[in-house]
Structures are given as structure tokens and as C-alpha cells.
Structure 1
Amino acid sequence: MDLSHDGLCSIGELAEQAGVTVKTVRFYSDRGLLPEASRSAGGHRRYGPDALDRLRLIRSLRALDLPLPEVRRVLDEEDGAAATGGALEDAVAGQLRELGSRLRALRWREAALRLVQESPPGERADRLLLVGAVTVPPSTAPLARFWRAWLPPRMPARSTAAFLEATVPQPPEDPAPAQVLAFARLNALTLGACPGTGRPQPEAHRTAGARGAAVLYAGLAEAYELAGALLRRGRAPRPGEALDCFVAAYVSAYGTRDTLDFRRSLARQLAADPRIDRYWELVAEVITPPGAPTEPTPGSAHDWLLAALDAQTTATAA
């Protein structure tokens, strides 16, 4: 940078060297990001030899869309005024998170627009209302509230969190229009009462109580994972490790023994319990990209295990 005899330069000279306007230099100076070295006799700003590099650093940080408070923290750390370390890394990580959120929102909007564009004219208005009721980026809060109302009161927080992780699907990062429609329908389903049954908590779960339900859901999660692996391989429902794990979850929750009579009673009770099949159908559509094999859900795994239990108890009775 060209400097005068006193080693300082004017605001105009600094702006010219940096390729910015005088207004830009003044803006950063007024906010304390670019300190001036002194003032001339006429009151004009004068800058030292380090000002150009500092101004270029500020411009680089702003080009990454870092807000001014983050820029200040990075500069303070460069100056040694803040010894915490990692200011730049934290700022960049924060911007990446924000950018990722914006990109997810844009991908969701694009898929939603394509859905409306590709919908038959007679369905377009209804689908537009469904999609319009979903926040962007989409939130799973309505789904979580649905299940929290369904769960027994005073269930341990860790068990509740694990249950919600298994039952609440995350919206796809890059959804297809069909996945947007499925999530919008799922959102609408959880915002209203399920037809005919309200909150259809199975009797088999209600009788377990809060502590028993926590034990039950932990065991069911393991059983559903085992059944899901068999579903992916196209295996028909049958007795085995997955079914034994499924029954063991209920045995542990009830504090009873695994007997043939218990399995028969459990099969009858589960068959009679209310169901939310539509929820799990929509979950499968949300998590499965078009054209891909359908991913198992806790609902489809439960159906597989119940069919295996029914087949086993029926065969034993015969």
C-alpha cells in the first residue's frame, strides 16, 4: 500500500487499494472493525500500514456472509484480545448450518412446487392446502406432539426420546414430490383426531403403566429392528429370534412368564387393539424414495411379528 511520509494513508487511498468505496471503509471504521491510526489537521481519517490487510480480511469474512458480530469476534481473536480460540471455525460452522437449513428449505419448496405443477387439476387445490400447512423447512413438532399425547404420563424422558426417534420420521433432505405429499398428509393426520378412535393407544400398552411402557418400548424397538431385517430380505412371518424378542418385551413389561397361554392371549389382545395403519403407510412413503424398495417401519415390523405370533399360536392349537 502506498503510504505518505508519515507511514499513513487517507481513507480514499485505502479504499482505492482495496477496490472498495470510501463509504465501505467508513462503514467498517464507524463500527470499530477498522480502527483509524489518527486524524489529519483537517479531521480526515488516516490509516496505518496494517489497515489494507485488515480490510481485506473483513471483506473476505463478509463475502462468506458472516454477520458483523461474528466478524468482530474473529478480528478480536486475530488481535489477541480474545484468547478463547476457534472464533473463525465456530463462525464458519454456524454459517454452514444456516446455509444447510436454507438449502433444505429451497429443495423442499422446489419439490412442493413440482407437486402442485404435476397434480391433476381436480386435486391441485386440496394438495396445495395440504402442502401449505407444512412449515418450511418442514417441522416434525406436530408428529412428536401426537405421540406424546399417546404415550403414558410420566414415562422416563430418555425412554420418551428413544420412542420418538423411532416413530417420528425425519423429512428427506432432497425430497421427491411424492414424499412432500406423504409428509403433508402425515402432518394433517397428526393434527386431527384419528377417525373413530381418537388417540388409539393399544390396551396392551396402557396396562403396562409408565415404567412398564418404557421397558416395553425398548424391547419392541429391538424386535422391530430384527423383523425389519427380515422384511428387507422378503422373509415371510415365522417364529424365531425376532418373535421371541417381541414376546419378551411384553413379558418383561408385565412381569410374567413366556408361556404358550400367554402368547395366545397376547395374540388375541394385539389383534383386537386399535391401529393407526394409515400413519405407518405414510411414514413408509416419506422415508422411501420413489422407485426404491419400501423401507420397513415400526408399523410394518409390528404387523409382521403379529402375523408370526398368530401363525405360531394357531399352529400349536391345531
Structure 2
Amino acid sequence: MSGDGTLSIGELAELAGVTVKTVRFYSDRGLLPETARSAGGHRRYGPEAIDRLRMIRSLRTLDLPVPEIGRVLDREDALEDVIAGQLRELGSQLAALRWREAALQLLQDCTTEERPDRLRLIGAITTPPSTASLARFWRRWLPPRLPARVASAVIEAAVPQPPADPTPAQVLAFARLHAFVSRDCPGTDSGQPAAHRPDEGYRPAVLYDGLAEAHALTSAHLRTQRPPHEGEALDCFVSAHAHARGTRDTPAFRRRLGVELAADPRIDLYWQLAAEVISPPSGPPEPTPGAAHDWLCAALDTQTARSAA
């Protein structure tokens, strides 16, 4: 150290255990401000530069970008935000790596004949995959002029979230699901449930509000694998349809409703694949709105058949 208490770039590098090139790099980027210049124009640093340089090195070992390091050095409260942001980014990178690993495993384990089709399916999705195509499918499928609150709730329940650590089977299921929703959506005249057609007299917002409650009640039965039966879930389901039509829940209405629901178009493959995406490798499948709908329709058919007998 010189008589004025400053350090040359070489002295600072030696004390901090780095190269002169490293000191110059951080100085040029404003992370390590110089205190003064010598008579010959050489950089001089104060003793506090040693601790600052060591802090910079510690942050760099965490792969923090230089701009983020500058934020931490300039603001004492910035470190927590920077760490949280880096953890989010690292989580996204790890998820992408896990999906790539599962996709490669899927391709490795399949037969030569299966590989081209699976490669095409996997190549159509990102890693980690986006659910945007699924959300677009439901926006097209749902009836027009549905309140945003109701539409958002339906989409949130209907779109399966990709697992962070998928199995090869889950990767294949999601890829097939993406391919399914990327097809042309059926026309509104023949490919939609009756409740979506304005000439049928339904109030879709009322219907979907009630169905959300009925599906929630049914999920408990699906998890315990109870067979379809009469009870609160079925009553809530029928009530949602009755209120949407502005009519009463009567035995005659239940019989008519069963017939109408049986004639509605179905998207069974969507719900099958959605269940495969979110369900664990072992154990019963996770409930989906589609599975809840099937359970409720079966419960309704059982009840009306018993009443007719």
C-alpha cells in the first residue's frame, strides 16, 4: 500500500487472490470504482475495495449476472430480491431439464416404429411445456359472452398443470393433449353441448357456476373410488342445470336431463389425457371435471332407472 493508503491494481489483485485482468474487468463495468489515479494515470483503489472485490467474487460463484451484482452492491436490500429471482429462474431451468430427460427416456424406451410419431409429438411442445394451447381450446369451446370470472374459473379447473418432475408417460400424455387441442375446434352448431347453444334457452353462466360446486363435491367420491350414487353432489348437479334453464328440479326434468346429456358431444380423450398428466405413477387417477361429469351422469342414470322401475 502506498503512502496515501491506496492500492495499485496489481496490489489489489494480489490481496484479493484474483488476476489483474479480473480487477480491470469489474472496474470497467462500474462494480469496482477506483479511488484515484496515479501521476502516471494508473488506477488506485482504497482498502475497502478488497472486501468489495471479495463480495463480487462470492456473488459470481452463484452465477449472478453482472447487472444483478451491481444492484446488490448499490442497495443493501436488493440481495433478497435478487436471490428470489435467481431461484425462480433456476427452478424453470431445472423443470426444463427434467422434461428433456423424461422426453429422451420416452424416445429411448419406445420401439423403432413408435419413435417417429413420438418425436413429432414431443417436437411440437416446449420444455417445460406451455399450457397456452389448452387455454385457447377452452376459450373456443366455452359458450360466447361467458363472464370473464366464470370462464377463468372453468379454464383453471380444466387445464392440467404439467408436473415439475414428469415421467415419460406424462410427457407423452401432455404431448398428445397438445396435439388434440391443436386440431380444428368443432363448429358451434353440431360440436358443442346444448347448453352452449343460445337457442336452447340455457344461461351458461348460471350453469357453470353451479357445476363448479357439483364437481367439487364429486371429487371426494372419485378419490375414494365410490360408485355413482344419489346424494348432495347429484342434487347440486341437477340443480345447476335446472336453474340455468329457469325451471324446477323434478323427476320428469331429471329424466329429460339424462337423455339430453347422453346426446351431448364428448371430449373423452381430453379428460383421459388430462388425468394421465396430473396423476401420480401409482395410485388412483386425480379427479378431473370430465371424470366428475361422467360420475354425475352415471348417478343420474342410475337414479332415473330406479325410479322408472
Q: TM-score normalised to the size of structure 1?
A: 0.92
Cα shift readout 1:23-73 (whole Å, capped 9, x = no counterpart): 111111112111100011111110001101111112222222222222222
Aligned mates of 2:167, 2:188 — CA distance in 1: 32
User: 1:186 is aligned with what amino acid?
Assistant: L
User: How many angstroms does 1:191 deviate by?
Assistant: 0.3
Matches within 5 A, 1:234-245: 234-245=225-236
Matches within 5 A, 1:12-91: 12-78=10-76, 86-91=77-82
Any unmatched runs of 5+ in structure 2?
Answer: none
Cα shift readout 1:274-299 (whole Å, capped 9, x = no counterpart): 00001001111111122222122111
Contact 2:275–2:288 (8 Å) recurs in 1: yes
1:173 maps to which residue?
164
- 2:5 equivalent to 1:7: yes
- Superposition RMSD in Å: 2.1
Contact 2:195–2:202 (8 Å) recurs in 1: no
User: How many angstroms does 1:211 deviate by?
Assistant: 9.6
Q: How many residue pairs are counted as aligned between the two chains?
A: 309
User: 2:16 is aligned with what amino acid?
Assistant: A
Aligned mates of 2:100, 2:272 — CA distance in 1: 23
Matches within 5 A, 1:1-318: 3-78=1-76, 86-193=77-184, 200-207=191-198, 212-318=203-309
User: How many angstroms does 1:231 deviate by?
Assistant: 1.6
Secondary structure, aligned partner of 2:44? strand
Q: TM-score normalised to the size of structure 2?
A: 0.94
Aligned mates of 2:122, 2:39 — CA distance in 1: 65
Aligned mates of 1:234, 1:311 — CA distance in 2: 17
Contact 1:204–1:269 (8 Å) recurs in 2: no
Q: 1:264/1:159 Cα in 2 relative to 1: closer, same or farther (>3 Å)?
A: same
User: 1:109 is aligned with what amino acid?
Assistant: R
Q: 1:151/1:209 Cα in 2 relative to 1: closer, same or farther (>3 Å)?
A: farther
Identity %: 69
Aligned mates of 2:169, 2:158 — CA distance in 1: 20
Cα shift readout 1:262-316 (whole Å, capped 9, x = no counterpart): 1111111100000000100111111112222212211111111001111111221
Any unmatched runs of 5+ in structure 1?
Answer: 79-85
Aligned mates of 2:281, 2:237 — CA distance in 1: 31
Aligned mates of 2:27, 2:282 — CA distance in 1: 57
Contact 1:155–1:210 (8 Å) recurs in 2: no
